[in-house]
Amino acid sequence: MRIDHMLVTLCTLITLPLASCSRVVAHANTAPSEGVPVRTTRAMVEDVPLEIAAVGNVEAIERVEVKPRIGGQIRSVAFTEGQQVMKGQLLFTVDRDTLYRQQAQQQAELDRDVAMEQQAAAVAARDTASERQRKSEAEIARKLGNLGVLSSQSVSQAVSISDSASAGLHADQAAIAAAAGAVRADRARLAQTQLQMNFADVVAPISGRAGAAMVKTGNVVRENDTTLVTLLQLAPIHVTFGIPEQSLPDVQRLSALGPLEVEAGAGAGAMVRGRLDFIDNTVDASTGTIRLKASFANTDGTLWPGEFVDVRLRLRVESGKLVVPESAVQEGVDGRYAWRVEANLATMVPVKVERSYRQQDTNGRLTSLAVLGGGELRPGDAVVTEGQLRLTSGARVTTIVER
């Protein structure tokens, strides 16, 4: 009786797991089949620019180190560091006290020499009248001597006095010339001092952005020696970059037809457009590149002197090229491929990538696109851009967002 009860219990324990497993299998067979979640986009036909990519360096077109044209103590700093200043704007003021004293001394010397010139002119006028009188007396003496009225000694004395008067007049004229020369020298020195007083106001020679002030109020500076501040012109601005020497013939040929478009930008920021201005006259033998320079309006200050930027030199535009995002292209054993989605089924198709380029949308965001030059993709095909790792050929997929 006890043995029968144990057999019944054992059979019950064996049949319970079997029943549970059958329910699990039945549930699995009845669950709906779901696809692999992926993101897709469409292969598009677009006009694609043919560009040369490079790394460039931003350079200010004009860079001026402002130095004082007179020495002295800095009386005031009239700008803010980092400020955009205009040409002719006051930057520094140098103390004028020494110049004021020098101007007063030179003015006094000028007045003295003018008075001496006037005195010499008055003496010359007096001696001119005396010289005429002496000449007249000498002429009369000669006539009287010829008539025998005056002795030869008296005639000689009258002629000698006339000659002395003439010599005195010449001396007066020389004194006038010397006094006039001293007056001119005084006026030149005074004009130089007045010019230096104007130089006491140090103004911006160009419009640009001011750097750090190298001196403060109270510092003593020397003429044409101390750099007060450095000004950089930011708009327009240059970007210098190099391209392979193999591209030089195309660049020369196309630039002869008109300015080539150049785009530049730093990091993931928006690219700004400029034009090619300069092609260097020699190839760098150590790098095999040639130096080019482009100018940009830079009115918003996007480009900053000294920074490195990505540069794209556009040569021409190729029409009707099939493009997909670079994220849709995968590397395989047999080459590059992409996953095409048709009727919610994924198929691996080979692609041939000619090149890639970065496209900027209306919001300023950059997208890397692959330009296809062959393969089985057609315009409008849906290709997978995310989720490729879980795909197998013929796998069912579920599109999360098609973009």
Task: Count up the domains in the chain and report the number.
Answer: 3
What pLDDT is recorded for position 396? 92
pLDDT for the residue 11: 41
Mean pLDDT of 96-107: 92
pLDDT of residue 362: 63
Task: For residues 177 and 293, give the distance between their C-alpha atoms in angstroms, rounded to a whole number.
Answer: 61
Kindly report the average pLDDT of the chain as a whole number.
Answer: 85
Same domain, 266 and 361: yes
pLDDT at 125: 84
pLDDT digits (tens, 9 = 90+) for 177-222: 898 999 999 999 999 999 999 999 999 999 999 999 999 999 999 9
Answer yes or no: do 165 and 251 share one domain: no
- Domain of residue 117, residue span: 97-199
Q: What is the mean pLDDT of residues 128-156?
A: 75
Q: What angle do CA 263, 267, 268 make, to 5 degrees?
A: 85
How large is the average pLDDT for residues 148-162? 74
**Which two structure tokens, joined as six digits, stand for 18?**
């079997």
Assess whether 51 and 186 both reside in one domain.
no
Residue with tokens 């099939």: 322
Residue 191 falls within a domain, yes or no?
A: yes
Residues 221 and 162 in one domain: no
Predicted local confidence at residue 154, as pLDDT: 73
Same domain for 262 and 178? no
Q: What does the pLDDT read at residue 130?
A: 78
Q: First and final CA of the chain: distance in angstroms?
A: 75
246 and 357 in a single domain? The answer is: yes
pLDDT of residue 12: 46
User: The CATH number of the domain where 352 resides is what?
Assistant: 2.40.30.170
How high is the pLDDT of residue 15? 43
pLDDT of residue 24: 33
Both 51 and 140 in one domain: the answer is no
Both 279 and 326 in one domain: the answer is: yes
More confident residue, 158 or 296: 296
Confidence of residue 373 (pLDDT cuts 50, 70, 90): confident
- Judge if 351 and 268 occupy the same domain: yes
Closest C-alpha to 335, from 388, 369, 374: 374
246 within a domain of the structure (yes/no): yes
Residues 275 and 392 in one domain: yes
Express each pLDDT in 283-323 by its tens digit.
Answer: 999 999 999 999 999 998 899 999 999 999 998 888 899 99
In a domain, 34, yes or no: no
Residue 20 lies in a domain: no
SS3 sequence, the chain? CHHHHHHHHHHHHHHHHHHHHHHHHHHHHHCCCCCEEEEEEECEEEEEEEEEEEEEEEEECCEEEECCCCCEEEEEECCCCCCEECCCCEEEEECCHHHHHHHHHHHHHHHHHHHHHHHHHHHHHHHHHHHHHHHHHHHHHHHHHHHCCCCHHHHHHHHHHHHHHHHHHHHHHHHHHHHHHHHHHHHHHHHHHHHHHHHCEEECCCCEEECCCCCCCCCEECCCCCCCEEEECCCCEEEEEEEEHHHHHHHHHHHCCCCCEEEEECCCCCCEEEEEEEEEEEEECCCCEEEEEEEECCCCCCCCCCCEEEEEEEEEEEEEEEEEEHHHCEEECCEEEEEEEECCEEEEEEEEEEEEEEEECCCCCEEEEEEEEEECCCCCCEEEEECHHHCCCCCEEEEEEEC
Structural domain includes residue 27? no
**Per-residue model confidence (pLDDT) at position 110:** 92
Q: What percent of the chain clears pLDDT 70, i.e. is strictly above it?
A: 89
Half-sphere exposure of 131 (CA within 13 A, CB side): 17
> What is the reported pLDDT for 3?
43
Q: What percent of the chain has pLDDT over 90?
A: 58
Residue 29 lies in a domain: no
**Confidence check: pLDDT of 225 > 50:** yes
Q: Residues 69-77: what's their mean pLDDT?
A: 94
Average pLDDT over residues 394-398: 92
pLDDT tier for residue 268 given thresholds of 50, 70 and 90 = low
User: Which of 191, 213, 232 is at the close of a domain?
Assistant: 232
What band does 28 get if pLDDT is binned at 50, 70 and 90? very low
Q: What is the reported pLDDT for 402? A: 59
Instruction: Say which residue, 238 or 145, is predicted with more confidence.
Output: 238
Structure tokens at 383: 């290709």
pLDDT score at 233 = 93
Residue 137's pLDDT band, with cuts at 50, 70 and 90, is: confident
Query: Which tens digit of pLDDT belongs to each residue from 7-26?
Result: 344 344 444 443 333 333 33
State residue 403's pLDDT score.
Answer: 55
Q: Are residues 398 and 259 in the same domain?
A: yes
Which one is predicted more confidently, 378 or 127? 378
